[in-house]
Structure 1
Amino acid sequence: MYFKKSLLTVVCALFLFSCSNSKADSQTAITSSSLAVSKNAIETQNEFVSVSNKLKDSVVNIRTKKTVYVNYYNPIEQFLYGRSEPRTEKKESGSLGSGFIISTDGYVMTNNHVVNGADEIFVKFSDGRELEAKLVGNDPEVDIAILKIQSKETFKPAEFGNSDNISVGQWAIAFGNPLGLNDTMTVGIVSAKGRSSLGIEKIENFIQTDAAINQGNSGGPLVDISGKVIGINTAIYSPSGGSIGIGFAIPANLAVNIKDSIIRTGKVERAFLGTELQDLNPQLVKQFNLSTSNGVLVTNVTEGSPAEKAGLKSGDVITQLNDSRVNSASQLVAQIASLRVGSNISLTYIRDGKTYKANTVLTKRAETPVSQAAAFSGLSLKTLTKQDIQKYGYSASMTGLIVTGVGSNTEAAKIGIQPGMIVRSINRVSVNSVEDFKKVYDSIQKGASMLILIATPNGSQYITLNK
């Protein structure tokens, strides 16, 4: 009996000793794990601090001033005398945005909508210095503008990364001036890439991020964990106007191509493929006997274009550009826009169920002569044709200029002018050609209000638009 009790005591002691050691080992493991996690967190934190230090002298706040002339009448005069002489009042307006230095001699990149129509532009640095800048050139189709600081100082440019190499899930860090709060940095990830068909810009291939982007962030850089610019913050999706984690940035490679063209020539030289494209739908996939909906349908090929030289025909389905898969027409347009004139490209396409590859060289997109089309205060106009009348359902006697495009975030867009509407007169002068419109337009003082007669298939109405 004594032996059994002694044996039981020894077993219990060994068990307790084992438990004690296990507990100690467990605590040691937890402590080691906590130290490792803590160390990783601190290292990540230090990376963010490093990015902030790297960009602080390159990111700028942008302030603009614009003079506008507003027509008004005196209601008291109208009441007392039955009439009131029209008056013009001069007012100043402005906007706030963001940008970043892209060269040591003071070139700055921002969004076109930040500086569009500005009479004066100022850039402010993190140390409080504010310098005047001038617009060098812009690209409304992508929403990029290039400024030049009026100073002989040497500046610190941000470094561009390769936006083609980004991955969904990687860090994305946004810099800018949201809601007037200078030198703000927010952190998130790349939520998606290749976003298009959103109706934000004419050419879209956005990087989507959940890094907080708000009003005033426009034009600021979106950078990776090494501090290299991968995008230019441009827009957000938000029912409330504030960030809900869905922001969009222009890919750096597209912006760099535009930047180089503007600085080199003062204008945008867009690469040209020469195709009209259509997105695929289930019906077209069935009709063309395709195994997938990936790709875009070629509906027309311009004579003598790079596409024709590559052997493309109407009815072909382009599935790949170089090493990138093509998912939509707007995506392919943006991919071409990100390439330089003279670039060699490879196209993969399907014809009659067989896959082909072809190489071609992108040429420069022809500039449209002013007699055929031109842009004024956010309105792109061209001479009305019989085809336009039939397409939009106007009467055969309709005259004027047809609206072919409306700049995003312009006054024209805000008051509801849309492609397909017709401009019949400006300041009560009838216009039947772009030259007619330009002659009157050029005689109007900048910032002054213009009276424009707009027609739709349902009727006509006068609107006012500031030059």
Structure 2
Amino acid sequence: MRTTFRGLKKALSALMLLSASLVLAAPVAAQSSIPQSLIDLQDAFRNVAKRVLPSVVEVLSTSVIHQTAPQFPNFPGFPNFPNTPEFRYFFGPNFQQQGPQPKTTEKVEGLGSGIMIRENGSTVYVLTNNHVVHGAQTIQITLNNGRKFEGKIVGTDPRRDLALVSFDAKSEASKIVLAQLGNSNDVQVGDWVLAIGNPLGLDFTVTHGIVSALGRHGGPNKDSMDTYIQTDAPINRGNSGGALVNLEGQVIGINTWIATPNGASVGLGFAIPINEAKVPIDEFIAHGKVTYGWLGALVSNLGETAARELGLANNKGSFIPSIFEGSPAQKAGILPGDFVTSINGAAIKNTDDLVQTIGDLPVGQQATFKLWRDGKELTKTVTIEARAKESLVDKMRLWPGLDVVNIDDTVRSQLDLKKSVQGVVVAQVEPNSTADVAGLKADDVIDKVNGHLVHNLGEFYRWFNSNPNEVNLSFVRQGVHLSIGMSP
């Protein structure tokens, strides 16, 4: 089929008109399909990324581990026996190595993130997590522009999982961009946040999400004093020490850990609030470490039933079952069984709240404690001391060093106690405590204290503290009645 020139000209003209109309219409269609609110949000994300990325760094730590390589006897045809569970199962767990044992050296690298927060001349300070640089022999700081510097640890704080690292920026000093630190007390659930760091070695990655919850406790550090900001912004290994920022480009948290069943992000990330992270910075620079306040007592939370037995209106506060000898608590007259409800006028919600409040108090400060004892509110003034080293605390005598619980239906069933048995049950005895040395054991049923029958926690502590010099306990162990005396 042939096409005439005139027909082709008409067809081309029509096609040109159609194309022109499409070109003119395309921008209008694209514009109308995207809500302005989304464009504004996109612009906000872009602006935050541009502002914060230059203040985030990559932290590469290197440790050298020296260890002895296993060496086993040689048998014909088997010159090198492996140190495997199967091998030890076959030959027995006490199979002895023979001959010289060669030493091996292994270099271990750890990758994390950090934020530049302060400078002094050409010295730049980077805030990161303690676990990112713990045990490092060398530290390398990489800026967003690719420049690398040797880092030095200024100070570490294992309890808060924070560390401060410095480097000499030299000729780059004028180009350093410091992060703007926000106020984490203003953060609310539902706020947009961006997480910036180096997840899985993918440097300077930006992810987004919201604040999922506030005041979370827990995590891999059992001694942690932190409460955490929870976010669903994707965080992975390598993000540790990086920035969690709001839409104003302010750092509101230090990304620290994730909860995950498989090692990858499942939307459960946790960041140290920046207000808590600010606390140790000056101490790092001045002393290289952080000094925490210390009360010198064991503390625990109470259930509602136990709180009622102690004559409390509710269980908001922190219970003190035992006290260290010579501690600030003992010097102030705090006794086992006391229940702390406020410190310096600030309400104490639970044990974590008390531990954090005490830790933040300056050493030497006199703190006012409101507490309940035997149904009455008391005020005690405690002079806060520096937290003792764990090795020293372990050697201090603990009074009395036991936890007791009421006998409810569950306890009665577990211990197979008859209905006629009354008293309180020893739930736990602390090793090397006064109670441990005296011979008390878990599951002992204490029915008398200083000659008085006891039926619940309130009565137990009332009579326990009635004689400041000696406590006599009558208890039942496996059907046998026994008694002991203890002195503080």
Q: Of the candidates 207, 211, 221, which is equivalent to residue 200 of structure 1? A: 221
Q: In 1, are the aligned partners of 2:308 and 2:314 still within 8 Å (CA)?
A: no
Deviation, structure 1 residue 322:
6.0
Q: CA deviation at 1:308?
A: 7.0
**1:388-435 deviation per Cα after TM superposition (whole angstroms, max 9, x unaligned):** 7995999xxxxxxxxxxxxxxxxxxxxxxxxxxxxxxxxxxxxxxxxx
Q: What does residue 161 of structure 2 align with?
A: 143
- Please tell me whether the aligned partners of residues 194 and 331 of structure 1 are also in contact (alpha carbons under 8 angstroms): no
Distance 1:290 1:363 in 2: 29
The separation in 2 between residues aligned to 1:371 and 1:281, in whole angstroms, is 28
Residues 1:60 and 2:57 are matched in the alignment? yes
Q: Which residue of 2 aligns with 1:387?
A: 432
Among 170, 180, 198, the residue aligned to 1:177: 198
Aligned length: 351
**For residues 358-437 of structure 1, what are the structure 2 equivalents within 5 Å?**
362-366=384-388, 387=432
| Cα distance change on mapping 1:182 and 1:308 into 2, 3 Å | same
- Compute the displacement of 1:59 (Å): 0.6
2:47 pairs with 1:50: yes
Q: 2:266 aligns with which of 244, 259, 265?
A: 244
Distance 1:295 1:37 in 2: 51
Measured in 2, the distance between the counterparts of 1:393 and 1:213 equals 50
1:326 is aligned to 2:323: no
Match of 1:330, SS state, is helix
- Of 168, 177, 183, 1:156 maps to 177
TM-score (norm 1): 0.65
The one-letter code matched in structure 2 to 1:47 is A
Distance 1:386 1:42, change over 3 A: closer
Give how far 1:360 is off: 6.7
CA distance in 2, matches of 1:40, 1:359: 55
Q: Which of 34, 37, 40 is matched with 2:37 structurally?
A: 40
Q: Distance in 1 between matches of 2:295 and 2:264?
A: 38
Q: Which residue of 1 aligns with 2:240?
A: 218
Cα gap change, 1:95/1:72 in structure 2, threshold over 3 Å: closer, same or farther?
A: same
Mapped partners of 2:438, 2:49: distance in 1: 56
Greater C-alpha radius of gyration? 2
Q: CA deviation at 1:117?
A: 1.3
Deviations 1:314-337 (A, max 9, x none): 433333456765333123212433
The one of 116, 119, 129 equivalent to 2:147 is 129
CA shift at 1:250, angstroms?
Answer: 1.7
Aligned to 1:433: none
For 1:262, give the aligned amino acid. Answer: F
Equivalent position of 2:126 in the other structure: 108
Which residue is equivalent to 2:113? 98
Instruction: Return the TM-score normalized by structure 2.
Output: 0.62
Q: Take 1:49 and 1:359, find their aligned partners in 2: how far apart are those partners?
A: 52
Q: Go from structure 1 to structure 2 and tell me whether the alpha carbon gap of 1:347 and 1:192 turns closer, same or farther (over 3 Å shift).
A: farther
For residue 249 of structure 1, give the secondary structure of its aligned residue in structure 2. strand
Q: Distance in 1 between matches of 2:149 and 2:438?
A: 52
Q: How big is the shift at 1:242?
A: 0.7
- In 1: Cα distance, 2:156 partner to 2:291 partner: 11
C-alpha distance in 1, partners of 2:332/2:182? Answer: 31
CA distance in 2, matches of 1:251, 1:359: 30
Q: Aligned partners of 1:158 and 1:117: how far apart in 2? A: 26
Provide the rounded CA distance (Å) in 2 between the counterparts of 1:300 and 1:242: 41
Greater shift after overlay, 155-164 or 262-271? 155-164
Q: Secondary structure at the match of 1:292?
A: coil
Query: Does the C-alpha gap of structure 1 residues 358 and 175 become closer, same or farther in structure 2, counting only changes over 3 Å?
Result: farther
Q: CA deviation at 1:103?
A: 0.7
Shift of the alpha carbon at 1:280? 1.2
Unaligned runs of 5+ in 2: 1-27, 80-97, 396-429, 440-488
Alignment of structure 1 residues 300-379 onto 2, 5 Å: 300=322, 313-321=335-343, 325-341=347-363, 349-353=371-375, 362-366=384-388
Q: Distance in 1 between matches of 2:190 and 2:345?
A: 21
Deviation of the 1:244 alpha carbon:
1.0
CA distance in 2, matches of 1:349, 1:118: 45
Report SS of the residue matched to 1:47.
helix
Separation in structure 2 between the aligned mates of residue 313 and residue 162 of structure 1, nearest angstrom: 38
How far apart, in 2, do the equivalents of 1:346 and 1:41 lie?
A: 51
SS in structure 2 opposite 1:203? coil
Kindly provide the amino acid, as one letter, of the partner of residue 109 in structure 1.
Answer: L
Task: Name stretches of at least 5 consecutive residues in structure 1 with no aligned partner.
Answer: 1-30, 374-384, 395-467
Which secondary structure state, in structure 2, belongs to the residue aligned with residue 57 of structure 1?
Answer: helix
Structure 1 residues 371 and 281: CA distance shift in structure 2, 3 A? closer
Cα deviation code 1:91-122 (max 9, x no counterpart): 22211111111112311111111111111110
Q: Structure 1 residues 163 and 133 mapped into 2: Cα distance closer, same or farther (>3 Å)?
A: same
Residue 284 (structure 1) aligned with residue 310 (structure 2): no
Q: Percent identity?
A: 36
